[in-house]
Amino acid sequence: MKPLIITIIALGLFQTVKGQTINWKTIDSSKHIVTAGFAWDYSLSYSAGYGYKLNTKLPIVLSLNFTKASGENLLDDFKTKIGGQIVLLNQPTFKGIITLNGIYRRFENDLVRLQNIGSEVKGTFGYYKPKWLVACEVGFDKAILTHFKHSDTYKKDIYQNVKDGWYEPATGGNFSYGLQTGYSFKKSDITLNFGKVITQDFKTTPLIPFYLRLGYNNKFR
């Protein structure tokens, strides 16, 4: 399994999940995790996801997550993530987790439609108790390949020789760092992630230089 994970990282197709925060102290008897979230994650957005816990020595959860940006147009801007989390440091209360996700995301406005294949990697280290958790997290989100398709408006009114198609090298990359905390009861977790975002040159920031996510998990066998 290890070489497979390394292959995935080498392909650069998997990235960190800002989405799914799990209380690893309370997951032991569960196999399935359903998540929902509301966040400021580049824009105001809603997310839903599913996680499946593998029966392995080191705890691993495979996950699928869908995030939709708010706005009047239903599915013009969204992000899907597929990947997993592995607990590499698995002490009774202290845990270290690596999260890897592949991303497909889409953006459209009056001028252009962007489709991106990206990756996200995140490291989390924290203190986990049956009723609560607190952890710090550091992540990197890389927009590896982006397809640009400009509208007729762009070509007519702005720049007629614009080139559509795939663009390289990587068109973007943002680091994020922050804290996550959560409260657990019965089969549920309520989680909160918050922190800052900075672009990969460490000199500039996105228009909204922070993230904030309120999440809910329901775990079952």
Partner 1 sequence: MALKSFTALGLILTLLVSCEKKNEINDPDSLVPKTVVEDPGLPSIEANGAKLHAQAFGPQDSTLVICIHGGPGDNYQYLLNTISLANEGYRMVYYDQVGAGLSERKPKSYYTSFGANGINNIFYDELKAVIAHYKTHPDQKVILLTQSWGSILATGYAGKYPAEIDGLILAEPGGFKWDDVITYVKASRSFNLWSELLNDATFFDQFITGKENEHAILDYKALLLSSRNDIVGDFGSILGTNKQHYPNVRDGAVISAAAYEIADKYKPDFSEGIEKFKKKILFLYSENNKAYPDSWAQKIASTLPNKQIVKINGVGHSGMFDQLNTWNNITQPLLINYLNSLR
Structure tokens at 92: 């009774």
Q: Is 154 helix (H, G, I), strand (E, B) or coil?
A: helix
Q: Nearest approach, Cβ of 99 to partner 1 (angstroms)?
A: 14
- x-or-dash string of contact with partner 1, 178-217, rule CB under 8 A: ---------------------xxx-xx-xxx---------
Classify residue 174 as exposed, middle or buried by CB count within 10 Å of its CB (0-12, 13-18, 19+). buried
Nearer to partner 1 (CB atom), residue 36 or residue 132: 36
Q: Which stretch binds partner 1 (CB under 8 A): 21-29, 125-133, 145-153, 184-192?
A: 145-153
Q: Which stretch binds partner 1 (CB under 8 A): 30-38, 99-107, 126-134, 188-196?
A: 99-107
- x-or-dash string of contact with partner 1, 103-122, rule CB under 8 A: --x-x-xxxx-x-xxx----
Closest CA to 101 of 114, 76, 73, 82: 82
Residue 198 to residues 29, 58, 107, 140, 177, Cα–Cα distance (Å): 38, 32, 20, 10, 9
Q: Which residues pair with 125 in a beta bridge?
A: 96, 136
Per-residue exposure over 17-29, b if at least 16 CB sit within 10 Å of its own CB, e if not: bbbbbbbbbbbee
124 within 8 A of 100, measured Cβ to Cβ: no
93 within 8 A of 67, measured Cβ to Cβ: no
Among 42, 61, 121, 213, indicate the residue that binds partner 1 (CB under 8 A): 42
Residue 48 near partner 1 by CB under 8 A:
no
Q: Nearest approach, Cβ of 91 to partner 1 (angstroms)?
A: 25
Please report, as ranges, the residues that interact with partner 1 according to CB under 8 A.
1, 4-5, 7-8, 11, 13-14, 42-44, 52, 54, 62, 69-73, 76-77, 79, 82-84, 102, 105, 107, 109-112, 114, 116-118, 141, 143, 145-146, 148, 153-154, 156-163, 165-169, 171-174, 199-201, 203-204, 206-208
